[in-house]
Amino acid sequence: MARTSLERCSGFSATAEVIAKIGFKLFLNVVPTVTNWSADAKEFSLILDDNPLNDFCELPPKAVTDGLWYSNVLCGVIRGALEMMQMQTEVVYVRDVLRGDDVSEIRVKLVRMLDEEVPASDD
């Protein structure tokens, strides 16, 4: 974000676009599609056709049955980055290519906007 020196996003939908088009492109060189907006525009899905982290990876059957999401670190990254931007979110993996689905899908839900911290008062 420091590299791109962008302004603050106007709303959550703008945030989604920026994550997909700029963030993912900058670090992973893929552009996921933003779809499945919920009714109140607080949730959306990122659909990844090919995840470069999965390129040389296969999961053993036990990992699949036990519920391993291989690229779950991406969810953490998105959640951490958005929390730095005062947005508390929940990010989960819904579908994953390594587990047999056709595409990978990450669902991002905005819980609330965080307030900036005010310095402690001296009285």
Partner 1 sequence: MVVVYTIYIFDRHCECIFYTEWNRGRSPLSADRSAATAVGGRPEGSKEPANTAHAVDGTGTHLSGDSQRPLVWPTTATSTAHRVSPESPRNIAMEEEAKLVYGVAFSTRNIINKLNSKDGPQGGNPGGFMSFATNTYRLHYYESPTGVKFILTTDIATASMQPVLEMIYRNIYVEYVVKNPLFNVDPLASSPIENDYFRAVLNNYIREISSTTTIA
26 lies in the site for partner 1, by CB under 8 A = no
Cβ proximity to partner 1: between 57 and 114 the closer is: 114
Residues in a beta bridge with 92: 107
Residue 52 to residues 8, 20, 22, 80, Cα–Cα distance (Å):
28, 15, 16, 21
List Cβ neighbours of 46 (8 Å cut-off, separation of 6 or more): 16, 19, 20, 24, 32, 33, 34, 105, 106, 108
117 lies in the site for partner 1, by CB under 8 A = yes
Binding mask 38-77 for partner 1 (x = CB under 8 A): ----------------------------------------
Minimum CB distance to partner 1, residue 113 (Å):
6
Cβ proximity to partner 1: between 111 and 113 the closer is: 113
Minimum CB distance to partner 1, residue 94 (Å):
26
118 lies in the site for partner 1, by CB under 8 A = yes
Q: Using an 8 Å Cβ cutoff, are 94 and 73 in contact? A: no
Binding site for partner 1 (CB under 8 A): 1-3, 5-6, 8, 83-86, 113-122
